[in-house]
Amino acid sequence: MQKRKLGNSGLEVSALGLGCMGMSFGLGPAADSSEMITLMRKAVELGVDFFDTAEVYGPYVNEELVGKALEPFKGKVAIATKFGFEMDPNGGPKYIGLNSRPEHIKKVAEASLKRLRVEVIDLFYQHRVDSSVPIEDVAGAVKDLIQEGKVKYFGLSEAGAETIRKAHAVQPVSALQSEYSLWTRNPELEIIPTLEELGIGFVPFSPLGKGFLTGAINDQSQFAANDIRSGLPRFTKDAIEANQALVDLLSNFAKQKNGTTAQIALAWLLAQKPWIVPIPGTTKLHRLTENLGAAIIKLSTTELNEIQDAAAKIQVQGNRYTEAMEKMTGL
């Protein structure tokens, strides 16, 4: 597996990481934990050394799962996790708001270290921008953790350009995580130029459009009540039907390149910038190997231009989030 540097920070990881959220949270019933441990360890065998989780996934259970799976590879893989939510103090299954107060960040770090079974968190993201706490204070808290040897690198998720700049001035930001794919291209306007200017890496989550860009979802697909896609505007029957044109575009290129639609979607992302590291998630071994196969597909400048021209003619239907969820982003 080829390696990539996430900006100028010194953090070098596999060109494709593994998003672990869906193994235990957010995309329907949790998968069998022993099978997911096997899957993560197989990913390491295949060259993946960058894994993504968060305390809110579950909450807590996904960090625990990742910690158990990757304990044998301590020091050989990079684990990214996130802070920024206030959990139900009564132990409920959902968060009750945002919380990026410095004292809370440090408390979360201590708990995450234990669940992940590590001595240092490789990459610690603010999960969502908390408008009630100055981003300079957030960056300062993570800077303290870095100086204490409990965190290696600082990241932001779904943050806007101004927030990125303010945070970076206090503690260099190593990576920004936001949604980016052929059907969510907002970062191209302001975020990617800002990251390039500041030397910050980009970690696209949902690089396969929460499964849509694999071609496995159609207007007859049904989602479980605890699958976040069941409530997203872009996954209504009408939106899925309208957006099928994007899958057809990828499918046509897949035939030309002897690949799959998912592989072309990921190869397109990898071709955008050398400091972009997508983190597709999966619970299936055959999907894992399929996704990793994208790293060997090279799209020529002509092919990239053809994809760009064809995609520009497709108007993606449906917002990516509900209005309430959108308000939690800093974009």
Give the residue numbers annotated as catalytic, written as ranges. 57
In order, the DSSP letters of 173-203 are EEEEEEE-BTTB-GGGTTHHHHHHHHTBEEE
Q: What are phi and psi of 224, to 5 degrees?
A: -65, 160
* Residue in the block written with tokens 């619970």: 283
- What contacts 270, CB < 8 A, 6 or more positions away? 15, 16, 276, 278, 294, 295
Count other Cβ atoms within 10 Å, centred on residue 122: 22
Helices (H), 74-212: 102-116, 135-147, 161-170, 191-198
CA-nearest of 76, 11, 13, 53 to 295 is 13
CA-nearest of 117, 107, 105 to 51 is 117
* Residue in the block written with tokens 């920004």: 176
